[in-house]
Amino acid sequence: MKKGALGPALKLSLPPSDEVAFKQFLTESGTFMDGDLLVNRDGVRIVSQSEIETPPLIQPSDNQISLADFDACKVIGKGNGGIVRLVQHKWTGQFFALKMIQMNIEESARKQLAQELKINQSSQCPNVVVCYQSFYENGAVSIILEYMDGGSLADFLKHVKAIPEPYLAAICKQVLKGLWYLHHEKHIIHRDLKPSNLLINHRGEVKITDFGVSAILASTSGQANTFVGTYNYMSPERIIGNQYGYRSDIWSLGLVLLECALGHFPYSPPHQGEGWTNVYELMETIVDQPPPNAPADQFSPEFCSFISACLQKDQKDRQSANELMTHPFINMISTCYTVEYVWIRCKPT
């Protein structure tokens, strides 16, 4: 089209000729967009560049994406099970976190894993990290996750000594919303709630990740009772092998919050300055000793009471995520204490 009465010449380009590549350009709604040309079930539309700010973004249910569509940028984290990379989608420019876990599993276990991860993909809660897609290739499970640019609470704790109560209340409120969703909507026990599984982004959103992953890994490796990870945040009933439920996550939440407030893991090791070198000693302490608490001379009565509502050794005495949402500690938050603010102030340069 020539420049003239209809405005500047429009840029038109043809979609890829082979069918596979073409399909990769389509979003779930069947929209193909290139330059000013937009084609979907409703027909063809030519739109001005100002109408289109970004290409159609990848949706969790888009099953057209493949690993080859991503460029690796850098390694952003390492856990016990694998490595996490920042990756960019070649066609949309969107960033994601790619978590790769090396595991050689059989076909049937792989199917079960894919099924379980599918449940995670359907998450619709702003406080739960979105899982977009999972793949199994060359003995490794790769999971495409929403990228959280503020990193984890564990990363954050390396840069700040402790987190003040009002910020903790803002963080906790979001974690409780995520937990409530997992427990009541999805009927999932997280099983591995810890600082590295709570992620933050620049909008000040806090989201839970890796829910159910430890259980999936244990069951798919054929060892239903094997736990791969840290025992630090595990509830007493789990340690002794009793039946456990949603409230085992509440125990973990209590310990995470207390650690953030104190600036160190709440259970003191037997030899000062050495840390917990013997995991059995730690497990024995959690099971046999009274639960840790927030010292009343350092913290508000609201915070002390919240910690005590979480850290009850008998799970029946612990409050649920729903009950904790109405706790006075959560309602302490004034609007000036947003997570965004604390993130910007404390973000390492």
Shortest reach from residue 125's CB to ligand ATP, in Å: 15
Which 95-114 residues touch ligand ATP, going by CB under 6 A?
Answer: 97, 99
- Is there binding between residue 210 and ligand ATP (CB under 6 A)? yes
CB nearer to ligand ATP: give 210 or 249: 210
* 192 part of the active site: yes
Q: Which stretch in 76-84, 107-115, 245-253, 296-304 sits in contact with ligand ATP by CB under 6 A? A: 76-84
Binding string, residues 201-220; x marks residues near Mg ion by CB under 5 A: ---------x----------
R_g (Cα) of the chain, nearest Å: 23
Number of residues that bind Mg ion (CB under 5 A): 2
Q: Tokens representing 242? A: 């009793």
Query: Which is the catalytic residue, given 18, 36, 71, 192?
Result: 192
- If one asks whether residue 197 binds Mg ion (CB under 5 A), the answer comes out as yes
Least distance CB 72 / ligand ATP (angstroms): 14
Structure tokens at 169: 């209340």
- 148 sits near ligand ATP (criterion: CB under 6 A): yes
Per-residue binder mask for ligand ATP (CB under 6 A), 122-141, x = binder: -------x------------
- 127 part of the interface to Mg ion, by CB under 5 A: no
* 145 binds ligand ATP, rule: CB under 6 A: yes
Q: What residues contact 340, with CB distance under 8 A and at least 6 apart? A: 202, 203, 204
Annotated catalytic residues are 192
Positions in the binding site for Mg ion (CB under 5 A)? 197, 210
Positions in the binding site for ligand ATP (CB under 6 A)? 76-82, 84, 97, 99, 129, 145-148, 151-152, 154-155, 196-197, 199, 209-210, 229
